Amino acid sequence: MAELRVAMIGHAFMGGTHSVAWRTVNAAFDLPLTARMSVLCGRDAAKAAAAAEKLGWAEHATDWRDVVTRDDVDLVDICTPGDSHAEIALAALAAGKHVLCEKPLANSVAEARAMTSAAEAARANGVRSMCGFNYRRTPAVALMRQLVADGRIGEIRHVRARYLQDWIVDPQFPLVWRLQRDKAGSGALGDIGAHIIDLTQFVTGQQITGVSALTETFVRQRPLVGASAGLAASSGAGTGEVTVDDAALFLARLDGGAIGTYEATRFATGRKNALQVEINGSRGSVAFDFERMNELQFHDATVPAAEGGFTTILVTEPEHPYLAGWWPPGHPIGYEHTFTHEARDLMLAVAAGEDPTPSFADALQVQLVLDAVERSAANAAGWTKVEPA
């Protein structure tokens, strides 16, 4: 069977999840291509070598510029922090490689626009590009999308989206790169707010047209970093300034008539990865919390009132999106397979010569919403239109 030879740039948290995806996707799904984990690229040779061995990559490399032009690479999978996405993606697209780029697409609208243009140009040559908003591929989220698309929710009135974490509640948690504007672009807003923007637009089929926003940085000075691993880190000596938001809140209008409340925060004590979405429409409602990612709450308002209520759908039936590849009903799957499903859909698109979603253009639009949020927050929460792509 034809192979899809993958080069992965970066091997921290996202490198780990993407490695699961490539390692697993052909065992779980019958696909027209076989993923080959060709090369892992990281700046430190020793660390890259260790990561490649542990995560199952055939080779390692240290210079991404070499890697993205190698003849034996079909797809470049970008798992680095956001400040290097544009440069790597542009080079890979220029070299005719398919690109999977982690979200956020870029740290600025300008970069995202450049990447989108490059992706559209490359598309003419059959080069595919995709941005990794993995939560779309949670089966329960895909089921929400399906229910909305099938008209089961009716006309959507309300979107209620929160992404709640608590990993920096402690003021002694150190100043990791995610808390620095030059590396991360923004704080909770871009890191996790971007996910709920993408996810709710995906599920509703509507786009945010304007926002009113407020951001806050609760802890403005933090210890400098000693050592870090994944999202965990220890403190070193000295302190530095937090230059991103700890929390971002906004109200929104969507182009199909819905109104929404959005909240992204790293200060929701006790909430670990609570990506919570509720959508209310004229015919029904859906509600979801990623901490119970295998469940969807569905209310069908056409059922007689005496039997109505929210049904807890255990999203583990073979009829459910992506579940045919997994276990019998009632056997949960884990977070990492949102990435496995991403890899699956990308491989299907590549094989079919079709464009996968979300495209870079889709990701640019999310970036434009983030931009409107920041502008509104800087302007006393005044209503701010999302700029056209």
What residues numbered 113-152 form the site for a copy of itself, per CB under 8 A? 143
Which one of residues 47, 123, 183, 292 is an interface residue with a copy of itself (CB under 8 A)? 292
> Could you say whether residue 162 binds a copy of itself (CB under 8 A)?
yes
Which one of residues 145, 271, 341, 344 is an interface residue with a copy of itself (CB under 8 A)? 271
- Single out the segment in contact with a copy of itself by CB under 8 A; choices: 65-73, 198-206, 262-270, 343-351: 262-270
- Single out the segment in contact with a copy of itself by CB under 8 A; choices: 80-88, 105-113, 118-126, 309-317: 309-317
Mapping DSSP to helix (H, G, I), strand (E, B) and coil, where does residue 333 land? coil
By beta-carbon proximity to a copy of itself, the closer residue of 86 and 296 is: 296
CA 180 to chain centre: 20
User: At 76, which amino acid appears?
Assistant: V
> Could you say whether residue 172 binds a copy of itself (CB under 8 A)?
no
> Could you say whether residue 267 binds a copy of itself (CB under 8 A)?
yes
Report the alpha-carbon distance of residue 368 to residue 109 in Å, rounded: 7
Which one of residues 46, 121, 331, 354 is an interface residue with a copy of itself (CB under 8 A)? 331
Q: Is there a contact between 77 and 19 (Cβ–Cβ < 8 Å)? A: no
Site for a copy of itself in 335-354 (CB under 8 A): 335-337
φ/ψ of 298, rounded to 5, equals: -130, 125
Q: Is there a contact between 274 and 164 (Cβ–Cβ < 8 Å)? A: yes
Site for a copy of itself in 90-109 (CB under 8 A): none
CA 114 to chain centre: 20
The count of residues interacting with a copy of itself (CB under 8 A) is 96
- Quote the DSSP letter at residue 287: E
> Could you say whether residue 236 binds a copy of itself (CB under 8 A)?
no
> Could you say whether residue 285 binds a copy of itself (CB under 8 A)?
yes
Q: Closest Cα to residue 93, out of 66, 73, 115?
A: 115
> Could you say whether residue 59 binds a copy of itself (CB under 8 A)?
no
By beta-carbon proximity to a copy of itself, the closer residue of 50 and 94 is: 50
> Could you say whether residue 333 binds a copy of itself (CB under 8 A)?
yes
Report the alpha-carbon distance of residue 185 to residue 103 in Å, rounded: 12
> Could you say whether residue 281 binds a copy of itself (CB under 8 A)?
yes
Site for a copy of itself in 182-221 (CB under 8 A): 212-214, 216, 218
Which residues have C-beta within 8 Å of that of residue 270, sequence separation ≥ 6? 166
By beta-carbon proximity to a copy of itself, the closer residue of 116 and 316 is: 316
> Could you say whether residue 381 binds a copy of itself (CB under 8 A)?
yes
Which one of residues 44, 158, 351, 352 is an interface residue with a copy of itself (CB under 8 A)? 158
> Could you say whether residue 180 binds a copy of itself (CB under 8 A)?
no
> Could you say whether residue 60 binds a copy of itself (CB under 8 A)?
no
Closest contact distance (angstroms) between CB of 347 and a copy of itself is 15
Q: Closest Cα to residue 197, out of 116, 135, 146, 108?
A: 135
- Single out the segment in contact with a copy of itself by CB under 8 A; choices: 54-62, 74-82, 116-124, 200-208: 54-62
Report the alpha-carbon distance of residue 108 to residue 123 in Å, rounded: 22
- Partners of 264 in the beta sheet? 163, 248
Residue 142, CA atoms < 13 Å, CB-side half-sphere: 20
> Could you say whether residue 355 binds a copy of itself (CB under 8 A)?
no
Distance of CA 184 to CAs 103, 119, 175, 191, 228, Å? 11, 23, 12, 8, 16
Site for a copy of itself in 13-42 (CB under 8 A): 13, 16-17, 19-20, 23-24, 26-27
Q: Closest Cα to residue 75, out of 20, 10, 130?
A: 130
- Single out the segment in contact with a copy of itself by CB under 8 A; choices: 83-91, 120-128, 180-188, 242-250: 242-250
> Could you say whether residue 309 binds a copy of itself (CB under 8 A)?
yes
Q: CB burial class (10 A; 0-12, 13-18, 19+) of residue 226?
A: exposed
Q: Is there a contact between 216 and 245 (Cβ–Cβ < 8 Å)? A: yes
